[in-house]
């Protein structure tokens, strides 16, 4: 390999390495996740929450599920500020509704008064309907994030194939 061939190979290696940062998601041995060489997601075992920390910043966000945390990171990566806020809001609202649903179910089983049981049942039903709508909206964001990632994987695979053919 002559000097020019090495320079060309080094150039393509650097370019390929830079492109892989856009799609890299790793699970570390300690159970944490690293995304895009920017974010670290760790699970708090006691609170069952997922903490996002962004490297070289003081940014920290908590989410009730890993899927929601990863989705937020994807939207943050693309600088979709309104969507990021909505994902965070949906995550918190769904989590509080789940608590409310559990509380109403408990009250229904413990209450002997039929009128209160009907009131709690109506409130339970209302919260379940609201939660289903919010979950559906959140799934839309999750699906968008998956689609963007799949496009990046395909694009990166094509770039890798082009590099090999050169």
Residues 6+ apart with CB under 8 A from 32: 40, 41, 42, 43
Which ranges of 48-113 does DSSP label H, i.e. alpha helix?
A: 66-77, 81-110
123-148 pLDDT, tens digit each: 999 999 999 999 999 999 999 999 98
The 3-class SS string of 25-49 reads EEECCCCCEEECCCEEEEEECCCCE
Determine the pLDDT at residue 27.
85
Determine the pLDDT at residue 9.
59
The pTM of the full predicted model, rounded to 2 decimals, is 0.78
Nearest to 78 by CA among 115, 38, 42, 126: 38
147-164 pLDDT, tens digit each: 988 887 777 666 554 444
87-96 pLDDT, tens digit each: 999 999 999 9
Residues 6+ apart with CB under 8 A from 18: none
Domain-by-domain residue ranges, the chain?
3-165
């Amino acid at each position: 390999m002559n000097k020019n061939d090495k320079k060309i190979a080094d150039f393509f290696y650097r370019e390929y390495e830079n492109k892989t940062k856009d799609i890299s998601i790793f699970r570390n041995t300690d159970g944490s996740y690293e995304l895009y060489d920017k974010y670290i997601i760790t699970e708090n075992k006691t609170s069952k929450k997922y903490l996002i920390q962004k490297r070289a910043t003081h940014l920290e966000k908590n989410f009730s599920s890993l899927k929601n945390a990863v989705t937020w990171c994807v939207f943050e990566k693309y600088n979709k500020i309104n969507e990021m806020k909505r994902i965070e809001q949906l995550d918190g609202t769904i989590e509080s509704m789940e608590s409310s649903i559990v509380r109403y179910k408990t009250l229904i089983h413990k209450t002997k008064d039929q009128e209160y049981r009907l009131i709690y049942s109506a409130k339970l039903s209302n919260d379940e309907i609201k939660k289903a709508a919010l979950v559906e909206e959140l799934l839309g964001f999750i699906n968008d994030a998956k689609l963007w990632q799949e496009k990046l994987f395909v694009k990166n695979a094509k770039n890798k194939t082009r590099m090999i053919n050169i």
